[in-house]
Amino acid sequence: MKSFLKSVLATMVGVLLASIVGFFLFIGLIAALVSSGDNKEVKVKDGSVLHIQLSEKVTERSSKNPFDNIDFGSLSSKKSQPGLNDILQEIKFAKSDEHIKGIFLDVPSVAMGMATMEEVRNALIDFKKTGKFIYAYAENYSQGAYYLVSVADKIYLNPQGSLALTGLSTEIMFLKGTLDKLEIEPQIIRHGKFKSAVEPYIRENMSEENRAQIAGFVNPIWNHIVTNVAASRKITPAAINLMADSLKINEAKDALDNKLVDKLAYYDEFMDDLSVKAGKKKGEAPEFITLNKYKNASVATSTASDKIAVIYANGEISGGEGNDEKIGSETLAKSIADARKDEKIKAIVLRVNSPGGDALASDVIWREVVLAKKVKPVVVSMGDLAASGGYYISCAANKIVAEPTTLTGSIGVFGLMFNAQNMFKNKLGITFDTYKTNNYGDIGTMNRPMTESERVIIQRSVDQVYNTFTSRVAEGRKMKQEDVDSIAQGRVWSGIDAKRIGLVDEIGNLNDALRIAAELAKIKEYRVKSMPEQKEPFEEIMSGLSEEAKVWYFQSTLGDQYYILKELQSIKNKQGVQARTFYNLSF
């Protein structure tokens, strides 16, 4: 028996030691993959061409998360995609870098929102002002990618390739049929006839109001794209719309004949042209440097003591802690408060890219913006989406800057609860009986329909939040509350129209917001401080291991439909009154 116990104990200790060693070997493997050269000092050779690839999702700022650079399927490293902040910095740095001859846009497709794309495109236009070249090549161009590369001096396309030009669309997934089959009744209380975030639960198609508001922002965005492409390619907007309406661009030759591209060529032929343009001999490879490597050579240095804080508010809004993908009121409010109290920070730029979320959490953040504004200038820079709660946290700023293609507004509120009594009873045979000490002890339960008195109480709460929301906007934008109500009602606006109706001050990008903040703070030289502070890589490893693995699995399994699962998950996690919107604009 004694021998048996020894054997068991030895086995347990062996398994434990093996697990510990295995864990640290795994961490070591990850560290090796992550640090495979990205942080080495880089020297840029004369006549170099900046090679820009944007195949991975472009986030607001570069991530320190090491799992972003790992393919969990093969446990190998993959190309990491710099965030928008670094992409813009590198293009700006390359503009004045005497070693950089030009840019090669290797962009067959893009994974970024429309406003993000606009920022990159404008940075490329600015780069060209120096007289340096931009060449683009792809075997196929998606519509979004073509909009981006349309600024290039020369656009090449594979002779057997294709170019998409179809117009824009937005697709909404409706769940009413599913809920009907499950015998789940959505119980919705809302304020705002355009508050369409609830429509997927109560309709099988768009309401006329929703269709009207979608037309109101999709059409201006498409017109903006068409106008810019037409100007870059020296053709008329009418010609581009005709191509899209008739699906005229079916083959590579069609794109060439209609002046959308400059030359049909295979990759080796393109490389010959690029080499000559870069000052090399035909057949001699150009000196390429990628965005990832150039990042280590293009670090902006400044000795200025004054700072402007760029505080990133990215993702859905909820209470508690947040990260680069989710706005937590606790984390974001603390960052704003820290920036307010820091005497070296002379102004704040709040970079908002959010569909909204929890109304109370939005108000907590709004309060910190108000407090900060009393001490120093606060300027909002809107990204792809700054709607509903995203607008709530923006409205108190001194100035609001948005891209023409930003989706904003959606000043409306709703409450959402589900009555699953019939599903439990008829599908699962489950019934419930309740004892309560007071009339409303079980308010909000899924096990019965809400009573009329409960509906009145919740409607009163939603109306109160809507009244608070519109009063906050009226105060921040110096408007009458009734005028805010007339453009609110949950309606979504493009950045172009938001400026026209007074919800936005200027059309511009993050750099424009920084310029305005510096002007308001009356400073000329400054450094940018990014907030909230990002976790160090090892912290990310310890906190993100299981979560990143789950995300990888579902993304690789579901592909483009992953966003449906993500939306269903967000529905499950919603609590309290909501101020949010959701659209999936397809390029």
pLDDT above 60: residue 417: yes
User: For the ranges 55-69, 315-329, 338-352, 508-522, which has the lowest average pLDDT?
Assistant: 55-69
pLDDT above 90: residue 133: yes
Q: For residue 26, what pLDDT is reported?
A: 52
Residues 6+ apart with CB under 8 A from 82: 62, 90, 291, 292, 295
CA 564 vs CA 112, 170, 172, 327, 559: distances in Å: 18, 14, 10, 20, 10
For 117, half-sphere exposure in the C-beta direction (CA atoms, 13 angstrom radius) is 25
Which of 32 and 443 is assigned the larger pLDDT? 443
State pLDDT tens for residues 147-193. Answer: 999 999 999 999 999 999 999 999 899 999 999 999 999 998 887 67
Residues 6+ apart with CB under 8 A from 13: none
pLDDT above 70: residue 62: yes
Q: For residue 8, what pLDDT is reported?
A: 47
For the residues 496-514, what does the mean pLDDT come to? 96
Q: For residue 563, what pLDDT is reported?
A: 52
Domains of the chain: 48-165+249-294 (3.90.226.10), 307-420+473-586 (3.90.226.10)
pLDDT above 70: residue 108: yes
Q: For residue 7, what pLDDT is reported?
A: 58
pLDDT above 80: residue 6: no
Q: If pLDDT is split at 50, 70 and 90, which confidence band does 581 have?
A: low
User: How long a stretch of residues is the chain?
Assistant: 587
Q: For residue 158, what pLDDT is reported?
A: 98
User: For the ranges 55-59, 106-110, 360-364, 455-459, which has the lowest average pLDDT?
Assistant: 55-59
Burial letters for 261-295: b for 16+ Cβ neighbours within 10 Å, e otherwise? bbebbeeeebbbbbbebbebeeeeebbebbbbbbb
Q: If pLDDT is split at 50, 70 and 90, which confidence band does 25 have?
A: very low
Place of tokens 């409607």: 459
pLDDT above 80: residue 478: yes
Q: If pLDDT is split at 50, 70 and 90, which confidence band does 352 have?
A: very high
pLDDT above 80: residue 363: yes
CB 544 within 8 Å of CB 325: no
**Mind telling me the catalytic residues?**
195, 388
Place of tokens 């054997």: 7
Could you tell me what percentage of the chain is helix, strand and coil, using 3-state DSSP and rounding each to the nearest 5? 45, 20, 35
For the residues 48-56, what does the mean pLDDT come to? 92
pTM: 0.83
pLDDT above 80: residue 552: no
pLDDT above 90: residue 481: yes
Residues 6+ apart with CB under 8 A from 423: 182, 183, 184
Torsion sign across C-alpha atoms 170, 553, 549, 565: positive
Bridge-based pairing of strands 70-71 and 48-52 is unpaired
Place of tokens 């023409």: 404
Tokens standing for residue 140: 């196929």
State pLDDT tens for residues 199-232. Answer: 999 999 999 888 988 999 999 999 999 999 999 9
Neighbours of 336 (CB within 10 A): 26
For the residues 512-525, what does the mean pLDDT come to? 96
Tokens standing for residue 295: 């990042």
DSSP 8-state assignment for residue 286: P
pLDDT above 60: residue 471: yes
